[in-house]
Amino acid sequence: MASKKELSALKKMVRASNFLSVAQIYLKQNVLLKRPLQHDDIKPRLLGHWGTCPGIAFVYAHINRLICQHQRPFLYLVGPGHGFPAVQANLFIEGSLSHFYPNTIPYSEAGMRNICEKFSAAYGYPSHANPEAPGQILEGGELGYSLAVGWGAALDNPDLINVVLVGDGESETGPLAASWYANRLVNPATCGAVLPILHINGYKISGPTRLGRMDDDEIRMEFTGLGYEVLIVDDQRKEDVYAQMADAMDRAMEAIDEIQTRARSGEDVSKPRWPLIAMRTAKGWTGIKEADGKKLEGNCDSHQVIINQAASNPQHLSLLNQWLESYQFDDLYKITNEGEVKFDKEIRSLIPPEHLRIGRQILSYGGEIVRPLNKPDLRQLSYGPETPRGQRGVSMNKMGEWMRDAFRLNSKQRNLRIFSPDETYSNQLQAVFEETDRAWQWPIEPWDQDMARDGRVMELLSENLLFGMLHGYTVTGRHGMFPTYEAFAQVVSSMCDQYCKYVYASQGVPFRKPVPACNVVLSSLLERQDHNGYSHQNPSLLGAMLEKHPTIISAYLPADGNSTLCYTEKAFDDRDKLNVIVAGKKTLPQWLTLEEARRQSEEGIMIWDFASDEEPDVVLASCGDYVTQECMAALVIIRQLLPELRIRFVNISELTSDGIGSLKYGRKPKLLDQFFTSDKGVVINYHGYPNTIHKLLFNYPGIKRCRVKGYVEEGSTTTPFDMGVRNGTSRYHLVVDMAYKAFQQGVITDAQHIEITTDMLQRLVDHRSYIKAHGVDPQEITDWVWSR
Ligand SMILES: Cc1ncc(C[n+]2csc(CCOP(=O)(O)OP(=O)(O)O)c2C)c(N)n1
């Protein structure tokens, strides 16, 4: 139970924060209310969300109390990050802002003026939680990700407690709704805890929330059913809400401690019932109750800026003045002889020791907390050792073996995990189960496969939950991979965007240091979703990510197993990025020795000499694994038909939004002439949408010579080869395209061109008849082998 003194301190801290929040939202000068407000003091553009700020501050103060009491590391993830003024206010009060920004935000009145004047101003501070703010590990704009990110950050951080404030509006989103299920995955013996605080202020932007209209029994039933111990705090009860909250926080700590102690003393804890606080406090609490005939406090009308005419309307100005005065902020601090702010003694009693302050939590800013992975020896895993050409293999199997060995080599470090929506097996990564299991904290039946309390593979059928967990895991310095079906990766496209924004914005922040890349592995690729059909054929995430800053996103498209090994290693070496790795899970011919694959992975593009002629007439290029097979088969056919035609084969294995190949080529596209020549026709067979390549090559002078093939949104349940046929990426189509390029350049005659084209069209007709009759591709396709 909180003492009277503690309660008084909590109230003062929240008062100070609320004052500073309101000042940030409204005032461009006179921010400390040294004189009565004038219209001129009001910002010309009023931005910011008042309604959620008091709840954020209330929780911040209560976390501080717990930190002081328990001396444990805490993170505070603010789902309603749109209430950033409250976060910023508290970061100021605890001194973290002045620590990281001593020149611009000194611990003085000048510092307070700075955060108020610059809030939501151009080149000032953003209006939502952001990486410039110490302690934040999530962009606060898009709702729904806080809880998943919190669970991810808790993994393998046994001492950490992540308090996650979840908005009741936010809790209506799909990602958040799924995030409650993470209690099935997180092992209390080896991981930290998440304390969700559901802020039931009853409203979102313009209406009531689902939870806001439920009574206590209904709230209890819902979250008890989800597996939590529900603690309700309610400002409508007689008991002081500060005391209720302190009690709930104490009980939550006790419950966390009980679970962790049991699990850490060797007991097999099934169904750990983590605490959850359902906190009912009014939206816009302590703000203006009513204005212009509207109910503000305790209603959605307090969501953003209330009384927004204060710059011109005397009544609004007066209300704002009274509102600010009501906090009696003056009484809460003094200025020392050195000009520093000295907050009231009680407030200071709640500020944790420096290293434990929320804004100083070392886990939140990368750098020294990152331990590089011990990496497997690729020589032991590669196809070969001599040329693997002629051999067949599976890219995803190789990635699985790499991950298996990496799990073994990093078992002590405990800094590697897979986050997979039920697809570790399906995506052919099952080798990892030789070394680890799938994490599961609820009952495990004797017939369940590869499941254990302390598994390092996080599986649950929610792309949102798992990507969010990966976000939390990597930004707190660990390494992870999110293998998923290519077609459904779009489910987390927006989450990937937000991740990229977080990482990009972090790069400009001096105290944020590099963190391991977030690795999204796309498998079950469209070319081999012939059996699942049209719904499973969608390379959109790849294209979407290639719109992002070139330094933040790389797409890796290894053509075979050895290349997949090299790119897996590279992806885990990368920092401050999101990698999209595109790799097939079916058997395909192998092409490169490990040495060749390594060389290619440095450049992202390579001429394959073994498949190329000197001084070519035509260039054929591929980007992706299945499309590479088709190119190689097309080479065999065209060389049989036109032995005199000279062809170069180029494989592209890396894309950035700057272009194809590594950034070197993206930035100087003219360099691509060394692959594509300066004047010959080029045919490119690409795994995704052809437009993506057109866009990436828009500034390459040779683009007019390029014919780009790719997925053009044609598909169905059909045979594997027919997928290429329908999209014009099959070997027969490529032969037609190469013959056309050769004809255009006068290398073959009109008659030769017509003959070859007719031959290929006939083969396409024959193929269609065959698959209609037999239901499978003919043997010449299924058993095709490379020869030269
Ligand atoms: C995914 C997403 N959808 C919509 C919005 C726009 N939006 C901003 S705040 C808000 C309401 C949030 O309500 P709640 O989570 O209850 O927060 P609070 O009431 O504490 O402000 C909405 C819909 C958003 N930021 N993110």
The residue whose CA has the least distance to atom 7 of ligand 1 is: 205
Q: What is the CATH number of the domain that holds 383?
A: 3.40.50.970
The percent of residues above 70 in pLDDT, for the chain, comes to 100
Mutate which of 170, 203, 305, 306 to test ligand 1's pocket (most atoms within 8 Å of Cβ)? 170
The percent of residues above 90 in pLDDT, for the chain, comes to 94
65-69, 124-128, 568-572 — which is least confidently predicted?
124-128
The residue whose CA has the least distance to atom 16 of ligand 1 is: 169
Q: Are residues 113 and 254 in the same domain?
A: yes
Q: What's the gap in Å between 239 CA and the centre of ligand 1?
A: 30
What integer is the mean pLDDT of 568-573? 98
Q: What are 184-216's pLDDT values in tens digits?
A: 999 999 999 999 999 999 999 999 999 999 999
Instruction: Report the C-alpha gap between 693 and 549 in whole angstroms.
Output: 16
Final residue before a domain boundary, out of 555, 589, 623:
589
Q: Does residue 532 have a pLDDT over 90?
A: no
Total Cβ atoms within 10 A of residue 262: 15
Q: What's the gap in Å between 489 CA and the centre of ligand 1?
A: 24
Q: Are residues 490 and 583 in the same domain?
A: yes
Report the DSSP beta bridge partners of residue 588.
Answer: 393
Q: What are 537-560's pLDDT values in tens digits?
A: 899 999 999 999 999 999 999 999
What integer is the mean pLDDT of 46-54? 97
Whether 267 is in a domain gets the answer yes
Confirm if 432 and 439 have CB atoms less than 8 A apart. Answer: no
Confirm if 571 and 654 have CB atoms less than 8 A apart. Answer: no
Mutate which of 168, 205, 285 to test ligand 1's pocket (most atoms within 8 Å of Cβ)? 205
Q: Are residues 353 and 409 in the same domain?
A: no
- Burial class from Cβ neighbours inside 10 Å (0-12, 13-18, 19+) for residue 266 reads exposed
Q: Helix, strand, or coil here: 777?
A: coil
Q: What are 581-603's pLDDT values in tens digits?
A: 999 998 999 999 999 999 999 99
Instruction: Return the ligand 1 atom nearest residue 201 CA.
Output: 19
Q: Are residues 283 and 184 in the same domain?
A: yes
The residue whose CA has the least distance to atom 14 of ligand 1 is: 169
Q: Are residues 475 and 411 in the same domain?
A: yes
Q: What are 412-462's pLDDT values in tens digits?
A: 999 999 999 988 999 999 999 999 999 999 999 999 999 999 999 999 999
Tokens 């809460």 identify what position?
332
Q: Are residues 614 and 583 in the same domain?
A: no
Q: What's the gap in Å between 24 CA and the centre of ligand 1?
A: 20
Q: Helix, strand, or coil here: 121?
A: coil
Mutate which of 47, 50, 204 to test ligand 1's pocket (most atoms within 8 Å of Cβ)? 204
Instruction: Return the ligand 1 atom nearest residue 204 CA.
Output: 13
Q: Are residues 488 and 542 in the same domain?
A: yes
Looking at residue 306, the DSSP 8-state letter turns out to be S
387 vs 275, higher pLDDT: 275
Instruction: Return the ligand 1 atom nearest residue 171 CA.
Output: 15
Q: Are residues 533 and 419 in the same domain?
A: yes
Instruction: Return the ligand 1 atom nearest residue 170 CA.
Output: 15
pLDDT reported for residue 620: 98
Q: What are 663-701's pLDDT values in tens digits?
A: 999 899 999 999 999 999 999 999 999 999 999 999 999
Q: What's the gap in Å between 300 CA and the centre of ligand 1?
A: 11
Q: Are residues 235 and 342 in the same domain?
A: yes
Whether 787 is in a domain gets the answer no
Q: What's the gap in Å between 81 CA and the centre of ligand 1?
A: 9
The residue whose CA has the least distance to atom 18 of ligand 1 is: 52
Opening angle at CA 597, ends 593 and 598, nearest 5: 115
Q: Does residue 498 have a pLDDT over 90?
A: yes
Whether 311 is in a domain gets the answer yes
What integer is the mean pLDDT of 495-506? 96
pLDDT reported for residue 537: 86
Q: What's the gap in Å between 50 CA and the centre of ligand 1?
A: 12
**Structural domain boundaries enclosing 196:** 4-364
pLDDT reported for residue 199: 98
Instruction: Report the C-alpha gap between 46 and 313 in whole angstroms.
Output: 14
Residue 526's pLDDT band, with cuts at 50, 70 and 90, is: confident
Residue 726's pLDDT band, with cuts at 50, 70 and 90, is: very high
Whether 601 is in a domain gets the answer no
Q: What's the gap in Å between 271 CA and the centre of ligand 1?
A: 31
Q: What's the gap in Å between 280 CA and the centre of ligand 1?
A: 17
Q: Does residue 527 have a pLDDT over 90?
A: no
Whether 372 is in a domain gets the answer no
What integer is the mean pLDDT of 619-625? 97
Instruction: Return the ligand 1 atom nearest residue 168 CA.
Output: 16
- Residue 664's contacts (CB-CB under 8 Å, 6 or more residues apart) are 603, 671
pLDDT reported for residue 195: 98
Instruction: Report the C-alpha gap between 96 and 109 in whole angstroms.
Output: 15
Q: Does residue 535 have a pLDDT over 90?
A: no
Tokens 């990602």 identify what position?
175
Q: Does residue 617 have a pLDDT over 90?
A: yes
Final residue before a domain boundary, out of 364, 387, 414:
364
Q: Does residue 525 have a pLDDT over 90?
A: no
Q: What's the gap in Å between 169 CA and the centre of ligand 1?
A: 6
Confirm if 585 and 523 have CB atoms less than 8 A apart. Answer: yes
pLDDT reported for residue 367: 83
Q: What's the gap in Å between 198 CA and the centre of ligand 1?
A: 14
Q: What is the CATH number of the domain that holds 709?
A: 3.40.50.920
Confirm if 690 and 712 have CB atoms less than 8 A apart. Answer: yes
Q: Are residues 585 and 626 in the same domain?
A: no
Whether 600 is in a domain gets the answer no
Instruction: Return the ligand 1 atom nearest residue 55 CA.
Output: 20
Mutate which of 87, 143, 145 to test ligand 1's pocket (most atoms within 8 Å of Cβ)? 143
Residue 387's pLDDT band, with cuts at 50, 70 and 90, is: confident
Q: Where are the alpha helices (DSSP H) in 414-484?
A: 463-475
Instruction: Report the C-alpha gap between 657 and 646 in whole angstroms.
Output: 32
The residue whose CA has the least distance to atom 22 of ligand 1 is: 205
pLDDT reported for residue 384: 87
Q: What's the gap in Å between 101 CA and the centre of ligand 1?
A: 29
8-22, 339-353, 362-376 — which is least confidently predicted?
362-376
DSSP assignment string, 504-569: HHHHT-TT----BPEEEEEES-GGG-TTT-GGG---HHHHHHTTS-TTTEEEE--SSHHHHHHHHH
Q: Does residue 534 have a pLDDT over 90?
A: no
The residue whose CA has the least distance to atom 21 of ligand 1 is: 52
Q: What's the gap in Å between 179 CA and the centre of ligand 1?
A: 17
Q: Does residue 140 have a pLDDT over 90?
A: no
Whether 571 is in a domain gets the answer yes
Q: Are residues 359 and 393 in the same domain?
A: no
Confirm if 15 and 332 have CB atoms less than 8 A apart. Answer: yes
Final residue before a domain boundary, out of 364, 399, 429:
364
Residue 227's pLDDT band, with cuts at 50, 70 and 90, is: very high
Q: What's the gap in Å between 80 CA and the centre of ligand 1?
A: 7
The residue whose CA has the least distance to atom 20 of ligand 1 is: 52
758 vs 534, higher pLDDT: 758
Confirm if 173 and 398 have CB atoms less than 8 A apart. Answer: no
Q: Does residue 366 have a pLDDT over 90?
A: no
Domain count within the chain: 3
pLDDT reported for residue 353: 98
Confirm if 680 and 613 have CB atoms less than 8 A apart. Answer: no
Each as own residue / partner, the long-range contacts of residues 257-260 (CB below 8 Å, 24 or more positions apart, any chain) are: 259/188, 259/193, 260/158, 260/188, 260/189, 260/193
Average pLDDT taken over every residue of the chain: 96
Provide residues with CB under 6 Å of ligand 1: 49, 51-52, 80, 82, 141-144, 167-170, 173, 199, 201, 203-205, 209, 283, 303
Q: What's the gap in Å between 170 CA and the centre of ligand 1?
A: 6
pLDDT reported for residue 530: 81
Q: Are residues 310 and 437 in the same domain?
A: no
pLDDT reported for residue 788: 87
Whether 760 is in a domain gets the answer yes
Tokens 């000042």 identify what position?
23
